[in-house]
Chain A
Amino acid sequence: MIELENVAYSYGGGELLSDISLKLAPGSFHFLTGPSGAGKTTLMKLCYGALLPTAGHVRLFDADVRAYTRDDVAMLRRRVGVVHQDCQFLDHLPLSENIALPLHVSDRSAEAQGEDLADLMHWVGLTERANALPPELSGGERQRAALARAVIMSPDVVLADEPTGNVDWDMSQRLLRLLIELNRMGKTVLVATHDLSLIRATKAHVQARVLRIANRRIQLAGADL
């Protein structure tokens, strides 16, 4: 589904990632951890075609990302839901329209009127906030809204980059439970976080593989977690 093979990424003369090999199998759950600045966000961006590797190969859905046209990348993002720590919205549109945005841009506006959107908003606990504008939302609400927007197209993969970075412990747990639910529905999930306690708290609920980026390389995390 997503496969990185001996990938390196350099920026500004320095190598951020080196010799990274990674394979996200369908239905798997991965944590990606490492200190701030280790390259977690860069690796995530490589996984959804926002960056191209400077060496090695990134294969997304069995095609090399370098062969993707700009339209291909747009189509790819309909199959890969992305949640950022500083999730951005269209501030002038109400929350429900922001969540339904992926449907609109993919010419499926009719579905945005249906029950699916209401169910999804209920699932993330934002039914009451449907008409609120994004600047009126709390950090936790924004993260849940971003998660709802990321999954409304029923993507094959969900990539979450520090999704709990701006929320308290309880909200972190709630977000993680939503991601685990998605995984149980068959979605491939990759969560980047520097919060090891979050990973420890989650391990009992999901069979997750934990990867760590250190010294520009990726390694399977072991018993220290």
Chain B
Amino acid sequence: MSGLRAIIGGALRPDTQADRVVPPSGFTAQLTVFAAAAMAFLAVFALALSLAAGRLADQWGAELARSATIRIAAPPEQQQTQTDAALRILETTRGVARARALSDAEQAALLAPWFGAELSLETLPVPQLIEVIETAEGMDAAGLRLRLAAEVPGAVLDDHSRWRAPLVKAASRLTLLGWSAIVLIAAVTAAMVTLAANAALAANAQVIAVLRLVGATDSYIAQAFIRRFTLRALIGASVGMVLGMIAVLFMPRGGDETASFLTGLGFQGVHWLLPLLIPPLAACVAFVATRMAARRTLEGLT
């Protein structure tokens, strides 16, 4: 534990001489920075996707969960009686904030996409719809169904669970996919840094031999590489994160009415702070990956 603390401390503490013992590696250094930037850029989008899908799941879940519909399908002469009976039951049902029968105009508007705007409801046996808005606590749908079955034979309660479940499930799955993408990006970053670190260690075999000969400990040698790759990952990921956030900021937005999943892709409120975690996390990944690569290489040397 103290060894790890020493290595972390050593990796973070600037030591210009230790940094200089490994020669600058030019093009490969730029590649590491570029790869870290690209990964951070993608991570910002994965994060935005995940958060947007999460918001959508919550929104759909909350909106659909708070409303229900009762359909009264009765002979025309009984329709009004049964509608009134259903409304009376709803008035005394715990968890129902308000309920109202839709007007003919509203029902016609609902059917307009299929039958056109000129539809006359008198010509069709259209059931009466009752819109039910629930309180925050929600209602007992099963109990309400039993009461309706007993007193309003033509009533059918639809609490939207058939619609809600797959939508919420899809959005939740999308959230999970977003987080999985972030984990994969971290893993790819680790693999990329490991490859780069291995290449750097192999290319600097003579440097390592000289350092070992003059009494350098493994942690001193490792830190020279760890510091370098950690810093490159930090710089690259910072650039990628800023570019990613700018790209998200300029994503097209829809208004409240047209808001959809694509136009809602982005960050809201404190979520704008979350991408700031990407550079330090990328640096941590690079730190661990380089340390493991360096330890493996150095332990193979005398």
A and B together in one complex:
yes
Interface-lining segment among A14-22, A82-90, A192-200: A82-90
Q: Are A82 and B17 in contact (CB under 8 A)?
A: no
A-B contact list, 20 entries, CB within 8 Å = A51-B302, A71-B217, A71-B218, A74-B212, A74-B215, A74-B217, A74-B218, A77-B212, A77-B213, A77-B214, A78-B214, A90-B23, A90-B210, A91-B23, A92-B23, A97-B17, A97-B20, A104-B18, A106-B215, A149-B214
B299: CB under 8 A from chain A?
yes
Chain A residues close to B by CB (< 8 Å): 45, 50-51, 70-71, 74-78, 82, 88-93, 97, 101-102, 104-106, 109, 149, 153
Counting CB contacts under 8 A, is B85 at the interface? no
Closest Cβ of chain B: how far from A85's Cβ, in Å? 13
Contact between B21 and A101, CB atoms less than 8 A apart: yes
| Whole-angstrom CA separation of A190 from B261 in the bound complex | 78
Measured as residues with beta carbon below 8 angstroms from the partner, the interface class of chain B is 20 to 34
Does B123 lie at the interface of the complex (its beta carbon under 8 Å from any beta carbon of A)? Answer: no
CA distance A142 to B217 in the complex (A): 24
Which chain A positions have C-beta within 8 A of B23? 90-92
What is B's interface to A at a CB cutoff of 8 Å? 17-18, 20-21, 23-24, 206-207, 209-220, 298-299, 302
Whether the pair A88, B210 counts as a contact (CB closer than 8 A) is yes
Do A101 and B210 have beta carbons less than 8 Å apart?
yes
Q: Do B21 and A102 touch across chains, with their CB atoms under 8 A apart?
A: no
Closest to A153 in B: B215
Residue from B24, B207, B209 with most neighbouring chain A CB atoms (10 Å): B207
Question: Nearest Cβ in chain A — how far from B126, in angstroms?
Answer: 85
* Chain A: CB-nearest residue to B18: A104
Enumerate chain B residues within 8 angstroms of A92, measured Cβ to Cβ: 23-24
Asked whether, in the complex, the Cβ of B206 is within 8 Å of the Cβ of A50, the reply is: no
Shortest CB-to-CB span from B19 to chain A, Å, is: 11
Whether the pair A105, B20 counts as a contact (CB closer than 8 A) is no
Docked complex Cα distance between A50 and B209 (Å): 11
Q: Which residue of B lies closest to A79 (CB)?
A: B215
